[in-house]
Amino acid sequence: KAGVTQTPRYLIKTRGQQVTLSCSPISGHRSVSWYQQTPGQGLQFLFEYFSETQRNKGNFPGRFSGRQFSNSRSEMNVSTLELGDSALYLCASKEAPATNEKLFFGSGTQLSVL
């Protein structure tokens, strides 16, 4: 069974640009969560999607958005990039949101904003 796949692996952008990151969950997993990881703040929850609907959202500005498609694949978008958005963005999936199941993480997209 293939794991969680995130593309691209690395991205370099400049301030003010926008970026779209992609995540393909494990087959059969319908819940997709996004996390931002930085050395100073650790792993912080961005949002979770299930059945193409956002179920939960963390404390991030509206520049961070996401969506989920009917095949459970998800994308997240960051508009008007700031230097502080440089981070490892991790996608995680599980079968359904309302369970205590462990999350399976992808390897992440390393975003650098110059």
Interacting residue ranges for other proteins, rule: CB under 8 A:
4, 33, 35, 42-45, 48, 55-56, 58, 90, 92, 97-100, 102-108, 110
Closest to other proteins by CB, 55 or 73: 55
Which residue in 114, 93, 97 sits closest to 105, CA to CA?
Answer: 93
CB 96 within 8 A of CB 30: yes
Closest to other proteins by CB, 62 or 98: 98
39, burial (CB in 10 Å: exposed 0-12, middle 13-18, buried 19+):
exposed
Closest to other proteins by CB, 15 or 57: 57
Closest to other proteins by CB, 40 or 62: 40
Distance in Å, CB of 47 to other proteins, minimum: 9
Q: How far apart are CA 74 and CA 59, in angstroms?
A: 19
Helix (H, G, I), strand (E, B), or coil: what is residue 83? helix
Distance in Å, CB of 33 to other proteins, minimum: 7
Distance in Å, CB of 84 to other proteins, minimum: 17
Q: How far apart are CA 3 and CA 12, in angstroms?
A: 25
